[in-house]
Amino acid sequence: MQRTVLITGASRGIGRAVAEQLLANGHRLCLGLRDPARLKGTPLESECVLPVPYDAGQPEQAEALVDAAIRWAGGADALIHCAGILHRTPLLFADGQEAELEELWRVNVMGPWWLTRAAWPQLRSSGHGRIQVLVSMSGTRVKGRMAGYPVSKFALMALCQSMRNEGFDHGIRVTAICPSWVNTAMAQWVSSVPSESMTQPQDLACLMGNLLDLPNAAVPFEIAVNCALET
Ligand SMILES: NC(=O)c1ccc[n+]([C@@H]2O[C@H](COP(=O)([O-])OP(=O)(O)OC[C@H]3O[C@@H](n4cnc5c(N)ncnc54)[C@H](OP(=O)(O)O)[C@@H]3O)[C@@H](O)[C@H]2O)c1
Per-position pLDDT tens, the chain of length 231: 899 999 999 999 999 999 999 999 999 999 999 999 999 999 999 999 999 999 999 999 999 999 999 999 999 999 999 999 999 999 999 999 999 999 999 999 999 999 999 999 999 999 999 999 999 999 999 999 999 999 999 999 999 999 999 999 999 999 999 999 999 999 999 999 999 999 999 999 999 999 999 999 999 999 999 999 988
The verdict on the CB of residue 69 being under 6 Å from ligand 1 is no
The catalytic position among 54, 113, 149, 181 is 149
Residues of the chain by 3-state class (helix, strand, coil), percent to 5: 45, 15, 35
DSSP string, 98-121: HHHHHHHIIIIIIHHHHHHHHHHH
The verdict on the CB of residue 170 being under 6 Å from ligand 1 is no
The verdict on the CB of residue 56 being under 6 Å from ligand 1 is yes
- Architecture in CATH of 4-225: 3-Layer(aba) Sandwich (3.40)
Q: Which atom of ligand 1 is nearest to the CA of 83?
A: 24
Rg of the chain on CA atoms, in Å: 17
pLDDT score at 231:
83
The answer to whether the beta carbons of residues 65 and 118 sit under 8 Å apart is yes
CA of 106 to the centre of ligand 1 (A): 13
The verdict on the CB of residue 53 being under 6 Å from ligand 1 is no
The answer to whether the beta carbons of residues 34 and 55 sit under 8 Å apart is yes
Instruction: Tell me 200's DSSP state.
Output: P
CA of 15 to the centre of ligand 1 (A): 7
Cα 212 to Cα 68: distance, rounded to the nearest angstrom: 22
CA of 134 to the centre of ligand 1 (A): 9
Question: Which residue ranges make up each domain of the chain?
Answer: 4-225
The answer to whether the beta carbons of residues 131 and 175 sit under 8 Å apart is yes
The verdict on the CB of residue 132 being under 6 Å from ligand 1 is no
CA of 169 to the centre of ligand 1 (A): 31
pLDDT score at 28:
98
DSSP string, 47-106: TTEEEEE--TT-HHHHHHHHHHHHHHHS--SEEEE--------BTTPPTTTHHHHHHHII
Q: Which atom of ligand 1 is nearest to the CA of 198?
A: 3
Give the SS3 label for residue 130. Answer: strand
CA of 83 to the centre of ligand 1 (A): 4
Cα 177 to Cα 179: distance, rounded to the nearest angstrom: 6
Nearest CA, atom 20, ligand 1: 186
Cα 20 to Cα 43: distance, rounded to the nearest angstrom: 7
Q: How far is CA 39 from CA 94, 109, 209, in A?
A: 38, 26, 20
149 tagged catalytic: yes
Cα 74 to Cα 167: distance, rounded to the nearest angstrom: 21
